Structure 1
Amino acid sequence: MAVVSRVRTKLVLLVIATAGLIGGLMLNLSGWPDFAWVVWTAGVLPIFMALVFEIIHDLWRGEVGLDIVAALSMSVALAFGECLAAAIVAVMYAGGTFLESFAEGRARREMRELMSRVPRSATRHRNGQLEDVPLDAIVAGDRLLIRQGDAVPVDGTVASTTAFVDTSALTGESLPVLLAVGSEAMSGSTNAGDAFDLIATRPAKESTYAGIVRLVEEAQQSKAPMSRLADRWSLGFLGITIALALAAWWFTNDPIRAVAVLVVATPCPLILAVPVALVAGLSRAAHYGVLIKGAKPLEAMSGIQTLILDKTGTLTDGRPQIVAIDRHTDMLEDEILRLAASLDQASKHPVALAIVAAAEARGLELSIPVEAAEFPGEGVRGIVDGHKVTVGGNDFVGSYVRPQPVGHPVLASGSVLAAVAVDDCLAAHLVMADPLREDAASTLLELRRQGIKRVLLATGDRVEVAKRVTEGLGLDEIRAGLFPDQKVMLVLTERKSGPVMMVGDGVNDAPALAAADVGVAMGARGASASAEAADVVLLVDKIDRLGSGIKIARSSRRIALESVVAGIGLSIVGMVAAAFGYLTPVQGAILQEAIDIAVILNALRALRVRPEVPKDPAKQIAPASSDGTTRQNVTSLPLDQGSYKG
């Protein structure tokens, strides 16, 4: 709301300044110069007062900006009766500040609040009944009911039965996990199975999710402020302006020459050209699915030297896929998959959904299962086309078949495995993986070409899984098993060597995103907490858009610098001409307008930046191996430890 309020305030000031300029011109042309003077002054004063307030605020924080030059030109022009020149300066200044504020407000308006996914209340057992209570009323020892799909509101222990929870947003683990009675469930995780009871171990304000929120707030406060590109030129240009104005007044004893110098010196090429180029860059980036939350993050993106990546959902797809079907009978592979997928239509387990998706991708016609019974976190059993079918973890399926299946070799590699039994005979093992994104390798190569010096992996997953998944990517360092605060420390450590970009998609990534110079959230399927904490959100689920965003940022900043150098150079020439008496204040203001138009047209070239977006490589279908299995040529082996129960 504060950003929206600032945009509205600056819009009002722009309307006042424009109305004053136009109204005064109309009165002057109508033969009422005295009234024109009054209208011009009335249009300038609100902008001048707002400008003085802004200057005092900046000086209080120890900052010196180009706003001082604009304030000097307006005040001196009014003092010496050059009201038309002052009105022109006021319009130029108000227009530039409005554009800058509008860019920030436009980029942020789509963002959800950090706490949008946190439950506001919980269902508590009390005297044999259920009651809805606010989170603040929950104390340690309360027994809560967590329904399917609910977010766990507080940290606690599972009480009534086993629980099947999705912790991916907190830990980066790709698949939901099975929690036995007495196991701890973290707040912020989601119930992916049947309803269960939870005994609260601590109040909401002390729980895991609340701690992550506090980490985000602390990280945002500790982030080094990014100065505006225009302000970096301010002191030098301010010194030149004042020196020329005083010299013109001193040697000619004509204060109007000093006024003309100050009017020509109004830094509108900086105030206007920079935000125009950056706003154009923001719009161009949004066209490619990269939402950048304002001009400052866009500037920061152009100087990134270190890239830190999360694994699950960032480098990997975050959704399990079948990478191999190891048959143990003469039954055709497609028939095994069809029976398993038909039965798994009765389950919402992520592995079951992946099996169904794989069957549909092959064009298999699925049947409707009967007498289907799901055992949360273990597997599904039922009848398909007259066959008894069991799909689930190795141990679960082993309890129904003879002889029992032995351990599968891929379990040691950190993959996910689903066993399939047909008529109580082991038919196959379905090997699941969270494959590396097809564009991951090419994207990292392109980012290094664009000047990224270090690429690191920061994940909460196990180190052996992280190494296997990222094999061949040429990462400079892999940091695995990290908690949210450890990711923040990694970001802060890397920032000592240069600007850092952090990319992630889960709640556990939010503090690190906030601490980085530029935090990037995978917004298509990521958590709202990471999207809110980030400076950049990828609106499409493609990591190659990182390269597009960085190229647009660097091109936009380069174009802005070109506009600044050209505009300031022309302004200095005009200041010298004004000092020698060749330009009156009004002529100087008109000249400055012409310079503004030229640099703005140049700045708009940022709208034509065309980053190359790599096309998705065609998917190759691997031939069947000699043992009858079909294997895809995936870059990595799967995600987490495993079996069907995650």
Structure 2
Amino acid sequence: MAPEHLSRWRRFAEPALTAITVGALAGGGIAWLAGSRTVADGFWMAGTAAALIPSALWVIAALRQKRVGVDVIAVLSLVGTLLVGEYLAGALIAVMLAGGRALEAAAQRRARHDLRALLERAPRFARRRVGSVVSVVPAEQVEVGDILVVGTGEIVPADGRVAESIAVLDESALTGEPLQNEYRAGEPIRSGAVNAGGVFELRATATAADSTYAGITRLAQQAAAESAPVIRLADRMAAWFLPLTLLVAGGAWALTGSAVRAVAVLVVATPCPLLLAAPVAIVSGLSRASRRGVVIRGGAALESLGSATTLVLDKTGTLTEGRPVVVQILTAPGYSAGEVLQTAASVDQMSAHVLAASIVTEALTRGLELALPDNVVEEAGQGVSATLGAHHVRVGKQPADRLDAPWARTALNRARLDSAAISWVSLDGVTVGAILLRDPLRRDAPRTIRRLRAAGLQRIVMLTGDRPDPAREVGAVLGLDEVYAHQSPTDKVAAVRGERDSAVTVMVGDGINDAPALAAATVGVAMGARGSTASSDAADIVLTTDRLDRLADAMDIARWSRRIALQSAAVGMALSLIAMAVAAAGWLPPAWGALLQEAIDVTVILNALRALRADPATGVDLPSETEDLLRRFAVEHDQLRDAVGLLRETADRLVSGDPDALGVLTRAHSFLTERLLPHEFAEETQLYPALARPLGSGEATATMSRTHAEIQRLSDRIGTHVAVAEAAQAVQADQLDDLLACLYGLYALLQLHFLQEEENYFTLADAADERTQLK
């Protein structure tokens, strides 16, 4: 019988068997109350026989798979009740077995609901446009390059790029995030997302079978609990539980000569709660993980993740954003940062280089209008040059002339100190600007590392093909145990194998070069939102959202599910063993033993279903008003972050002797008084008091309040310098040292302060959202 037919047959057979056994038990009870004991025994014998047949089939099926489980005890107890005339006990056992099987099946169906939902919503059709004709075709017929029309409410059938206009997508099924995202023409989108806006077209970049959602559904189809180590442990425990049960039953019979006592022992040992609890808890964990955007291939990976002690991570795209961003623009005297960026982006829009894309993105974000260049020439690894109006422009790795100017030396030193890449901008053979770019650390990375350590990881190692300097900087900021730079794919495999030899090791990566290392680890985790098919195929777990903190969620889920499974099994077996001893002593008749065992089985299954919910011991509960405040100030941080760089730029202008230094200083002071200080005051008077109660006391924010006071002091000091300079219409020489100390000091203080608030407080709102979604 095909698996889907067998599953459908069981769905109807299990309730039917339950109905038959319950009917037989009830019919016998009515007859017994009416005084007809013979008729009552007939009903109870029929119910017992009805359960005996499938129980025997279950034993035969297990033996064919070379497994000997406690279903043997079920058959023996049913046969025993018939032989010793304990027909009521037999009927109770029959109800217990049928009801237990039905309850277990229902629990697993409930636990698998989210995994099944992934499969059921897979796109099956697509609307393909050829010329002006739109036709509906099966999804498997979509080819690379096809123009697909996606209507409102429809599921994106294949990976592609938006062909025109704007696509508004609900990607909650992929990422677990409830927010809608906008994608403009040319931007890539993934299959499985729902069109939450108007009709749009996309050009397919992959077939439906090779697209994101198809890969996710393939993983979901493999998500099963039968192979989990904790369940194999259950089978091993059942192997000794069966002979122990037979020994106790046989001993009771041999010592007392009472077959009824032996049957009572068999009754209370049927079925073993261990085999009910473990699968339900593990599958519940798989279900919860899928709701968080974590697709786990099966129970083995979930259980291994729950016992892992070592984590190995790639850097780029895992701990960092994986996308370089512009961090600073330095210019020659007479040129502004906006002019240099606009010029560079106009030329770079014709380049496919990752740094060029970042420069264009920065320019568009600032609202700059780009011109169309002519005579574009790109040299691999060197840069791109073009004619822009009447000027020849070059943007690249090397400057067009010697860099003897102070501003250029400052750019070189800054890039070295910040581990940043430089794109030099030259105009008619003269270098006029330097754009510094770096791959920023993920904002949630420090908090995620702390969560991972709290989840039980004792050693965290970073592997990267990057240079040692930026690698060590990331390792120092995050407090990693070991950092290896200049790592080739072969080096990564060797490092992972070395860690795996001494501990259960998890490897996280997102690129093709990470695939061998993922396969070598005990558990491979792929960042699948932007990662390659190769890394996803090699991984045991795929994070469908581009967030590393989902791994911490998965570890919490894995440990909680494993704890629940073992707890349920241990308690259930302990109760069964106690009941067996009581039955062997003759104090528990078979009928009462059957009722007691039924209660034990139901209890462990219901306890195992607790794995569907979050661990109540984790997290801080926040009032909704406090969550709103946290989100509000997080948005303001994003808006202020780039502007804070104005303080450093002002200090640099003062050092270089820029004639417009006073104007820049005045703008910096206006930023402080009009934007920054009101933000800090609102945090002090609104946010911090709201956090006092959830965090236990006002002392939790006391150090941040002290930082606010220092920010105010330095801002006031800068304001005094501005007043003096404006009175003299220039920054005086005797002001310079103190003014530079204030500007550089305030810049560094704000950078640290923002990071502390984001890690310590703003992430609480994200954690609250996560707990809400996990419940």
TM-score scaled by length of structure 2: 0.57
The answer as to whether partners of 1:70 and 1:89 remain within 8 angstroms in 2 is no
1:282 aligns with 2:289: no
Structure richer in helix, relative to its length: 2
Residue 330 to residue 15, structure 1, CA distance change in 2 (3 Å): same
Relative contact order, higher structure (CA 8 A, sep 6+): 1
Work out which of the residue numbers 52, 74, 99 in structure 1 matches 2:60.
Answer: 52
Q: Is the 8 A contact 1:25 1:36 kept in 2?
A: no
Cα RMSD, aligned residues only: 4.2
Q: What is the 5 A alignment of 1:65-80? A: 68-78=69-79, 80=81
- Give the equivalent residue in structure 2 for 1:237: 241
The structure-2 alpha-carbon separation of the partners of 1:233 and 1:374, relative to structure 1 and needing over 3 Å to count, comes to: farther
Distance in 2 (CA, whole Å) between partners of 1:93 and 1:489 is 47
Q: 1:558 and 2:566 equivalent?
A: no
Distance change >3 Å, CA 104–CA 28, structure 1 → 2: closer
Aligned counterparts, 1:364-375, within 5 A? 364-371=367-374, 373=376, 375=378
Counterpart of 2:309, as a letter, is Q
CA contact (8 A) 1:7 1:101 kept: no
Q: Would the aligned equivalents of 2:296 and 2:302 in 1 still touch at CA under 8 Å?
A: yes
Q: How does 1:11-410 map to 2 (within 5 A)?
A: 12-13=9-10, 15-26=12-23, 41=49, 44-46=52-54, 48-58=56-66, 68-78=69-79, 80-81=81-82, 84=91, 85-86=93-94, 88-89=96-97, 92-93=100-101, 96=104, 226-228=229-231, 229-231=233-235, 233-361=237-365, 363-371=366-374, 373=376, 375=378, 377=380, 378-382=382-386, 386=389, 388=391, 390-395=393-398, 398=400, 408=412
Could you tell me the percent identity over the aligned residues?
A: 37
Q: Deviations over 1:488-536 (max 9, x none)?
A: 3322322232211111112222232233222221122112222233222
- For residues 268 and 9 of structure 1, the distance between their equivalents in structure 2, rounded to whole angstroms, comes to 24
Q: Distance in 2 between matches of 1:389 and 1:265?
A: 87
Partners of 1:37 and 1:627 in 2: how far apart?
Answer: 94
Structure 1 Cα separation of the partners of residues 228 and 600 of structure 2: 31
Contact 1:488 1:512 in 2 (8 A): yes
Deviations 1:539-580 (A, max 9, x none): 222222332222232223223333223222222233234334
Answer whether contact 2:228 2:301 (CA < 8 A) is retained.
no
Query: Could you tell me how far 1:382 is from its partner in structure 2?
Result: 4.6
**Distance in 2 of aligned mates of 1:382 and 1:487:** 40
Task: Note if contact 2:506-2:524 (Cα within 8 Å) is conserved in structure 1.
Answer: yes
1:410 is displaced (CA, Å) by: 6.6
8 A Cα contact 1:70 1:93, kept in partner = no
Count of residues in correspondence between the two structures: 511
Counterpart of 1:445, as a letter, is R
C-alpha separation in 2, matches of 1:564 and 1:589:
19
Choose 605-614 or 541-550, whichever is displaced more: 605-614
Cα deviation code 1:219-255 (max 9, x no counterpart): xxxxx98342534543553343222221232234343
Are 1:307 and 1:452, in contact at CA under 8 Å, matched by a contact in 2?
yes
- 1:459 counterpart = 2:464: yes
Q: Does the CA contact (< 8 Å) of 1:306 and 1:452 recur in 2?
A: yes
**Map of 2:525 onto structure 1:** 520
2:615 is matched with which residue: 609, 618, 635?
Answer: 609
| Gaps in structure 2 of 5+ consecutive residues | 29-38, 120-158, 161-226, 621-626, 657-667, 669-743, 753-775
Q: Is the 8 A contact 2:342 2:368 kept in 1?
A: yes
Counterpart of 2:652 (choices 620, 623, 627) is: 627
Question: What is residue 125 of structure 1 aligned with on the other side?
Answer: none
Contact 2:273 2:601 in 1 (8 A): yes
**1:107 touches 1:293 (CA, 8 Å); kept in 2?**
no
CA distance in 1, matches of 2:335, 2:448: 41
For residue 322 of structure 2, give the secondary structure of its aligned residue in structure 1.
coil
Return the offset for 1:321. Answer: 0.9
Checking the alignment, whether the CA contact within 8 Å between 1:324 and 1:431 is kept in structure 2 is yes
Secondary structure of 1:398's aligned partner: coil
Q: Are the counterparts in 1 of residues 557 and 614 from structure 2 also a CA contact under 8 Å? A: no
Secondary structure of 1:324's counterpart equals strand
Equivalence for 2:497 = 492
Contact 1:369 1:383 in 2 (8 A): no
Contact 2:55–2:75 (CA<8 Å) still a contact in 1?
no
Letter in 2 for 1:450: A
Residues 355-406 of structure 1, C-alpha deviations (whole Å, 9 max, x = no match): 1222233x3232342536352635444566x4636353234x7399999x99
Per the alignment, residue 576 of structure 2 pairs with 571
Q: Spell out, residue by residue over 1:583-618, the C-alpha distance to the aligned partner (whole angstroms, 9 max, x if none).
A: 454543432222222223333333132654998974
- TM-superposition CA deviations, 1:194-226 (whole Å, max 9, x none): xxxxxxxxxxxxxxxxxxxxxxxxxxxxxx983
Distance across 2 between alignment mates of 1:559 and 1:7: 30
Question: Structure 1: how far apart are the matches of 2:21 and 2:305?
Answer: 44
Q: In structure 2, do the counterparts of structure 1 residues 365 and 488 end up closer, same or farther at CA, with 3 Å as the change threshold?
A: closer
TM-score normalised over the length of structure 1: 0.67
In structure 2, give the amino acid aligned to 1:23: I
How far apart in 2 are the matches of 1:369 and 1:49? Answer: 76
Q: Which 10-residue stretch deviates more, 281-290 or 563-572?
A: 281-290
Residue 141 of structure 1 aligns with which residue?
Answer: none
Letter in 2 for 1:88: M
Take 1:596 and 1:264, find their aligned partners in 2: how far apart are those partners? 10
1:262 is displaced (CA, Å) by 2.1
Amino acid at match of 2:603: A
Q: Structure 1 residues 340 and 51, CA, compared in 2 at 3 Å: closer, same or farther? A: farther
Displacement, 1:99?
5.9
Amino acid at match of 2:368: E
Partner of 1:133: none
Distance in 2, matches of 1:266 and 1:582, equals: 18
Show CA shifts across 1:160-207 (max 9, x none): xxxxxxxxxxxxxxxxxxxxxxxxxxxxxxxxxxxxxxxxxxxxxxxx
Larger CA deviation: 412-421 vs 544-553: 412-421
Q: Distance in 2 between matches of 1:446 and 1:42?
A: 52
8 Å contact kept, 2:228–2:300: no
The residue identity in structure 2 corresponding to 1:275 is P
Q: Contact 1:10 / 1:94 at 8 angstroms: preserved in 2? A: no
Q: Which has the larger radius of gyration?
A: 2
Counterpart for residue 644 of structure 1: none
Alignment partner, residue 598 of structure 1? 603
Q: CA deviation at 1:54?
A: 3.1
